[in-house]
Amino acid sequence: MMNRDLYTRLKAYGSSDFYGFHMPGHKRQMLYPFDNPMGIDITEIDGFDNLHHAEGILMEAQGRAAALYGSSETHFLVNGSTAGLLSAIAGCTTRGGKIIMARNCHKAVYHAAFLNELEVIYWMPQMDTVNGINCGLPVDNLKKLLEKNPETQAIVMTSPTYDGVVSNVDKVVEIVHKCGIPLIVDEAHGAHFGFDPRFPGSSVGKGADVVIHSLHKTLPSMTQTALIHLNGDLADREKIRRYLSIYQTSSPSYVLMSSIDSCIGLLNERKEELFDSFCQKLTAVRDQLGQMEKLRLFTKEDAIKREGVALDPSKLLITTRGTDLNGKELSSLLREKYHLEMEMETPGYVLALTSIADTEEGFQRLTQALMEIDGQSAVIVEDSQTGNTDTGAGASMKGNETVMSIWQADQHRKKSVPLGESSGLVSGEFVYQYPPGIPLIAPGEVINGEILEQIRLAKAQGINVQGMKDYTAESIEILDDIRR
């Protein structure tokens, strides 16, 4: 008998009553006809164009995507937003050049800095230190960084964040364009922006030079599908196109490209109807969850207090601060008792991702479960010594001391030491929670007690700590013979 354990388990999960408040944004729903994928899985045969030199049907499909988003030029990505970020950064810099990047960028941005041997200047976001949530990027701080680093070749920022906080992209565009510097916006989590006034506007319309969207995160499109939008003259488009051919597979999936085109077609035909229904559901859900007495829904007002200008209402972030539950425990309870799977769990909160594909039944199950937990399971703890006051990784987004660049650290001799004995040593590898994939520490940075405490807490609460050669996170690679 053929062993197809993965397929069998996926089929069983797909037909179960588990409901996913996580990627991909199609939520296992068919919002457009999409028959047997094997029947449309082809290669670059006559009449079907070539993604790496599109001049026919794929050029037309990419043109429809550009028209929908209002960009000058749009390319399909089948290797996810990662391929777009790698290509954009390589295309906007020279090897050994300097970039300013938000510290809360995805690991793909750090990998781009490594691959291109870039000198990195970090732009630190504001934090909700109570719950450990990355918030907005201070515009005034960017001005100061640019004054000190006039040779900067590109700015890279993430907006919205994984948690839905939107920074002031309009103001950033104004500042960097006065300096003649291209702005790359990782808007992976904002592919649904700009289609309804109840959502924030897209960075494409705000004048960003390069914008990357993960369709699969928040829209009905298959995993790995994404878009890169190019605008203006500051970004070297020809160079970015060249790197897209390097970082994308030479055998792009027509199944994935068809999913992108179908998603764009759906939005062109039904976006008003779909987003109106979605927004009505979200308003009802957020109003109901706003009545919780112990658990708490993160709000737009919370984001604005910390340099955010808006909050993506589709991100339902539930904090556990002050209760007897932590994020891991709340997520487990939702999974095991209510068969609801969250997108992310941290020591201080859980995150539910929603999209236009979510059903009324799914929203009702989530609100009923959270209201029940709030009324029965979550207990307000007065004693801070016993309550869930730890918020773990990201509790304060501070700059780590940097001894050398990421790529220089990669070339250095390394050795493994017990994690508990690494304070004051220089890391030889990345350490991050995934999701969201934001490094706690990067190669070339000094390990300190705060970082070790964040790792300890995450491990104690069952949160995934990745990036280290030792998957158990008991030891860490450090640069040999270097101590601070």
Model pLDDT, residue 386: 38
- What does the pLDDT look like over 341-375, one tens digit per residue? 999 999 999 999 999 999 999 999 999 999 999 99
If DSSP codes are grouped into helix, strand and coil, which group holds residue 165?
Answer: strand
Name which of 107, 43, 120 is nearest 81 in CA terms: 107
Mean pLDDT of 13-42: 95
Place of tokens 């001894």: 403
Q: What percent of the chain has pLDDT over 90?
A: 88
Packed helices 360-376 and 254-289: angle between N→C axes, nearest 10 degrees: 40
Mean pLDDT of 169-174: 99
| Least confidently predicted of 154-158, 159-163, 398-402, 416-420 | 398-402
What percent helix, strand, coil does the chain show, rounded to 5? 35, 20, 45
Q: Are strands 475-483 and 414-418 parallel, antiparallel or unpaired?
A: antiparallel
CA dihedral 369→371→377→381, nearest 10 degrees, is 140
Name which of 75, 55, 65, 63 is nearest 243 in CA terms: 75
Model pLDDT, residue 129: 86
If DSSP codes are grouped into helix, strand and coil, which group holds residue 230?
Answer: strand
Model pLDDT, residue 287: 98
Q: Which residue ranges form the domains of the chain, and what is each CATH number?
A: 37-264 (3.40.640.10), 406-483 (3.90.100.10)
| Mean residue pLDDT across the chain | 94
Distance CA 451, CA 387 (A): 22
